Chains A and B, each alone.
Chain A
Amino acid sequence: MKMMELAFKNFKSNMKSYFSLIISLAFTIIVVFDFQNILYTDTFKMLGEKNTRQIHTAVSAISFVLVCFIFFFIWYSTNVFLNRRKKEIGIYIFMGFPNEKVGRLYMIETVLTGASALGLGLAAGVLTTHLFQMITLALSDIAVDIDFQFTLRPVLNTVGIYLIIYLIFTLKGYVNITGSSVLGMITGARQNEYVRQNIVLLVFKTLLGLGVLGTGFYLAVREGEGGVESQIGIVAAVVLVTVGVYMVFGGAIPFIFQKAAGNKRFLYNKQRCLWINNMIFRMKKNYRTYAMVCVLALCSVTALAAGFAMRERYDNIMKFNSTYTVQVLSSRGDLDADLNQVIKQYSEIDYCSQIQITGLEGSLVKASENAGKYAFVSYSELKDLAADIGKEFSLKEPDEGQIVRVTHMYLFSLLTDREHRKMEIGGRDYEQIEETDISYLGYLQDQVSFYMVNDSEFAGLQLLGQNLHCYSYHIEDATAYQNIKEALNAYMEKIETEGGYIGIVSIDPGSNRIYWVKVVFSLCIFVFLVFILAAGSIMFLKLFNDSFEEKERYSVMIKMGFDREILRKSITAELGAAYGIPFVVMGISSCFSVHALGMIMNTNLTAIHVGSALTVLAVFLVCYLVSVSSYQKNVGV
């Protein structure tokens, strides 16, 4: 029989054991393809160029994360697959096949598996991509018609990414086989199972892991001053938390279990004796799985929290920017009555405000956050304005040399240290004592860097810059927006000829300027689903495989008359720990990751965090119940 025929025969006869691998690989291909397809279809083009660009940036970033995930997933699954087949491969070597020949046989079988997964994944990807985009738009609350589109580029990208990663690990398997001994192969299935690990090594790993994890947490929540340093800090935090989680599972968790097993007064308590020892027995082999599940769950919670935070920020930004419908800036302070008259031709006015502003050119100001233009308002006037439009005002009056940043609502910022920042205005030093993102000046506040100073400082600054009056209006009838805008333009032209016109700022109530944020919200939900399903299914498959290895042990215990009910309870506890420990570590770690996210997005994500963690818990609970049921069935209790 030729090598190809033998490989094909093996592939066909082992289809049952390959099935789970093919399905899981196909799932990853579907996900990559669906995301790639967004980049090359016109679905989001009707949202405008800026939105499309931002969506593509977000999709590219998510695709990068997904490629990293696929890299580790293929690594893990091909490793599990190789270990499962090692005994059979060892028998071929034992029968006299050269290692290289057996390695080639394995490679052909692995390529057949990979090709099946690729074919299935692409077919399902092409079929589901339209649905994926429809769901994305529906979740984003965007009503546009989309057509089924098929382009070759996402297919080629997906195939390219997948093949490169898959072939790396196929070659790794080949190298592994060619360099292995017969004995190593025959005992391959059990090679990773050790009973107890060296306690000194575990303590070292625990301390190192906690140190790495703690550093990661610190970098995540420390206040950043923006710029490259903050970006490096975030990347370092992600890497350190991931490595730290692996070390904690490789050190602290086995250490705790071994200590528990050493304390016989604790251990000899019904089924505890059985399941704690089982956990220790499998720990060396399983800790990577626990860590991977924990990291995936952490990613999923963070992704969901990011999605909801984006959505919340989107709503708040829209609300912020639509504080006023039109804003007029003029050097004249007597336009109030005229402007009211022009607007009231088309709509009643909900509320309006007027305030004096001093604008300074960027060259007069030195600040860490460089802006082209700076604007200043006085404490008293801002306080009055807040009262006029019914906004909360709890800012204290700054002293001499102090400023308060009146900022806009931004989506996210790496600059999280918002107090005690220094700036130099007209040669004088100022210290920022507070920051507020309450919309006193609406869209104008979003466009210009605003600061509040006390009244005497303001009088001083008026001498340095350009003094303007800002008239802001919110109209009742949003449909009158266009007419009002035209009428105001006409009026302002008249004023301009008299030398008083400066500018008009308006925001269309129906604007879709930042629709992309809503799309990113939907994509974050998909990423959450991908990660959490991957975490749940990896854990389920791991325990499902373990149950077959445990079958013999449980049949001995049944033969010896051990109560089946107690054995069932032992399985319940063991699997509870397998799901529970990664969840607890994820819960602790996510406090830091979501806190960091909250700092970047300047929002409180506690409710979203709790909601996301509960969703993960619900998914884990379902997987846990299915795992317990199938485990008990497989071991025969």
Chain B
Amino acid sequence: MNDGNVVRVKNLIKDYGAKNFKMRALKGIDLTVYSNDFIAIMGPSGSGKTTLLNILSTIDKPTLGEVFLGGRDIGKVSNRELAKIRRDKIGFIFQDYNLLDTMTLQDNIALPLALNGVSAKECIQRVEAVSGMFGLGEHLNKYPYQLSGGQKQRGAACRALITGPEILFADEPTGALDSKAGKDLLECLKNINESRNTAILMVTHDPFCASYAKDVYILSDGMIKCKISAGYSRKEFYDRIIDIQTSMGGDFS
């Protein structure tokens, strides 16, 4: 990690398509995420939110520019090292949870640790600790099909956090949840960000969800158009996000 930053992006460009028909999805993004940051990325459809998230989380590769994760340029590391970075430094939460329906919630949460060769004793202790933080202690023996959407997403968050990542990437984490479940999840994420100093970078179209972040970046046409930082209250921050959305127009979904 350099100067406390977890992710540093310099002049990030991403093109899609064939040689004669290229579409530039990201047009030179500069962004630095520090260890205690909680960032929400918003923007209209096709603005490049998911592309940015995919590149930062190493799922996709940039066309040009540099992406540093934990001080390493991900464009210059081998696939094996990239997998290691992904495993040790990054956590993921997907909109559709992606819990494995073949195993219990406890096994789902423990899986990243077990696969990394962490001792069974430590796996059990860490699962108990993190599931307690997300209020899932009573549901550990249940299978995903026995859980509600909110419980599943909190379970997915536990799985993402169990390895103690430096940054958590969340792609529309509340997209499939009702407002109560979404709020519970966001409260949990906020607590984790504050208590553990885990950076969170979340893509969302929901201003209410974004209002839990410390900073909101608005992306449009492949560029960061503006950054809004939280103020004295979440309500006030939410209003400002709505104002910016309204002023920019477009479909923020």
Q: A residues within 8 Å of B by Cβ?
A: 195-196, 261, 264-274, 277-278, 280-281, 553, 556-557, 559-564, 566
Q: Pick the most buried of B86, B90, B113: most chain A CB atoms within 10 A of its CB.
A: B86
| Alpha-carbon distance between A564 and B80 when the two chains are bound, in angstroms | 9
| Alpha-carbon distance between A267 and B121 when the two chains are bound, in angstroms | 11
The minimal Cβ–Cβ distance linking A393 to chain B, given in whole angstroms, is 65
B59 at the interface (CB under 8 A from A): yes
Closest partner residue, chain B, to A263 (CB atom): B120
Q: Decide: A195 and B143 in contact? CB cutoff 8 A.
A: yes
The minimal Cβ–Cβ distance linking B96 to chain A, given in whole angstroms, is 9
B114 at the interface (CB under 8 A from A): yes
| Alpha-carbon distance between A481 and B115 when the two chains are bound, in angstroms | 78
> Using Cβ atoms and an 8 Å threshold, which residues of chain A touch B113?
268
B24 at the interface (CB under 8 A from A): no
Q: Decide: B87 and A563 in contact? CB cutoff 8 A.
A: yes
Closest partner residue, chain A, to B90 (CB atom): A561
Partner of B107, one of A271, A273, A556: A273
| Alpha-carbon distance between A136 and B219 when the two chains are bound, in angstroms | 76
B179 at the interface (CB under 8 A from A): no
Query: A195-B102, A553-B100 in contact; A560/B112 too (CB < 8 A)?
Result: yes
Contact with A along B100-129 (1 / 0, CB 8 A): 111100110011111101111101100000
Q: Decide: A269 and B120 in contact? CB cutoff 8 A.
A: yes
Query: A556-B98, A561-B83, A561-B90 in contact; A268/B112 too (CB < 8 A)?
Result: no
> Using Cβ atoms and an 8 Å threshold, which residues of chain B touch A566?
115
Partner of A277, one of B83, B92, B107, B123: B107
Q: Decide: A273 and B110 in contact? CB cutoff 8 A.
A: yes
Q: Decide: B102 and A272 in contact? CB cutoff 8 A.
A: no
Q: Decide: B92 and A559 in contact? CB cutoff 8 A.
A: yes
Q: Decide: B100 and A273 in contact? CB cutoff 8 A.
A: no
> Using Cβ atoms and an 8 Å threshold, which residues of chain A touch B100?
277, 553, 556-557
Query: A265-B121, A560-B92 in contact; A277/B115 too (CB < 8 A)?
Result: no
The minimal Cβ–Cβ distance linking B4 to chain A, given in whole angstroms, is 23
Q: Decide: A270 and B121 in contact? CB cutoff 8 A.
A: no
Partner of A269, one of B90, B94, B102, B114: B114
Q: Which 4 A-B pairs have the closest CB atoms?
A: A561-B86, A277-B103, A281-B102, A268-B120
| Alpha-carbon distance between A559 and B87 when the two chains are bound, in angstroms | 10
Closest partner residue, chain A, to B89 (CB atom): A561
Q: Decide: B102 and A273 in contact? CB cutoff 8 A.
A: no
Partner of B106, one of A195, A264, A271: A264
Q: Which label, helix, strand, loop or mixed, suits the secondary structure of the B interface? A: helix
Q: Decide: B83 and A274 in contact? CB cutoff 8 A.
A: no
Closest partner residue, chain B, to A566 (CB atom): B115
> Using Cβ atoms and an 8 Å threshold, which residues of chain B touch A561?
58, 83, 85-87, 90, 92
Query: What are 16 contact pairs spanning A and B, CB under 8 A?
Result: A196-B143, A264-B120, A264-B123, A264-B124, A267-B107, A268-B110, A268-B113, A268-B114, A273-B111, A274-B103, A274-B114, A277-B102, A277-B107, A557-B100, A562-B87, A562-B112
| Alpha-carbon distance between A269 and B111 when the two chains are bound, in angstroms | 9
> Using Cβ atoms and an 8 Å threshold, which residues of chain B touch A278?
102
| Alpha-carbon distance between A280 and B98 when the two chains are bound, in angstroms | 19
> Using Cβ atoms and an 8 Å threshold, which residues of chain A touch B102?
195, 277-278, 280-281, 553
The minimal Cβ–Cβ distance linking A71 to chain B, given in whole angstroms, is 33
Closest partner residue, chain B, to A562 (CB atom): B115
> Using Cβ atoms and an 8 Å threshold, which residues of chain B touch A553?
100-102
> Using Cβ atoms and an 8 Å threshold, which residues of chain A touch B106?
264
The minimal Cβ–Cβ distance linking B243 to chain A, given in whole angstroms, is 35
The minimal Cβ–Cβ distance linking B109 to chain A, given in whole angstroms, is 11
The minimal Cβ–Cβ distance linking A195 to chain B, given in whole angstroms, is 5
The minimal Cβ–Cβ distance linking B230 to chain A, given in whole angstroms, is 29
Contact with A along B120-146 (1 / 0, CB 8 A): 110110000000000000000001010
| Alpha-carbon distance between A371 and B100 when the two chains are bound, in angstroms | 71
A-B contacts besides A273-B107, A274-B103, A278-B102, 17 pairs, CB < 8 Å: A195-B101, A261-B103, A264-B124, A267-B114, A267-B120, A268-B118, A268-B124, A270-B115, A271-B115, A273-B111, A273-B115, A553-B102, A556-B98, A556-B100, A557-B100, A563-B83, A564-B83
The minimal Cβ–Cβ distance linking A276 to chain B, given in whole angstroms, is 9
| Alpha-carbon distance between A564 and B83 when the two chains are bound, in angstroms | 9
> Using Cβ atoms and an 8 Å threshold, which residues of chain A touch B120?
264-269
The minimal Cβ–Cβ distance linking B76 to chain A, given in whole angstroms, is 18
Q: Pick the most buried of B58, B92, B100, B110: most chain A CB atoms within 10 A of its CB.
A: B100
Query: A195-B102, A261-B107 in contact; A270/B114 too (CB < 8 A)?
Result: yes
Contact with A along B42-77 (1 / 0, CB 8 A): 000000000000000011000000000000000000
| Alpha-carbon distance between A269 and B119 when the two chains are bound, in angstroms | 7
The minimal Cβ–Cβ distance linking B159 to chain A, given in whole angstroms, is 8
| Alpha-carbon distance between A25 and B239 when the two chains are bound, in angstroms | 68
> Using Cβ atoms and an 8 Å threshold, which residues of chain B touch A196?
143
| Alpha-carbon distance between A278 and B98 when the two chains are bound, in angstroms | 16
> Using Cβ atoms and an 8 Å threshold, which residues of chain A touch B94?
556
| Alpha-carbon distance between A422 and B218 when the two chains are bound, in angstroms | 101
Closest partner residue, chain B, to A556 (CB atom): B98
Q: Pick the most buried of A270, A273, A281, A557: most chain B CB atoms within 10 A of its CB.
A: A273
Closest partner residue, chain A, to B58 (CB atom): A561
> Using Cβ atoms and an 8 Å threshold, which residues of chain B touch A274?
103, 111, 114-115
> Using Cβ atoms and an 8 Å threshold, which residues of chain B touch A267?
107, 114, 120
Q: Pick the most buried of A196, A266, A563: most chain B CB atoms within 10 A of its CB.
A: A563
| Alpha-carbon distance between A253 and B167 when the two chains are bound, in angstroms | 42
Q: Pick the most buried of B101, B118, B121, B145: most chain A CB atoms within 10 A of its CB.
A: B101
| Alpha-carbon distance between A269 and B102 when the two chains are bound, in angstroms | 17
| Alpha-carbon distance between A269 and B116 when the two chains are bound, in angstroms | 9
Partner of A272, one of B98, B101, B112, B114: B114
The minimal Cβ–Cβ distance linking A187 to chain B, given in whole angstroms, is 12
Closest partner residue, chain A, to B111 (CB atom): A273
| Alpha-carbon distance between A264 and B121 when the two chains are bound, in angstroms | 9
Closest partner residue, chain B, to A195 (CB atom): B143
| Alpha-carbon distance between A394 and B58 when the two chains are bound, in angstroms | 81
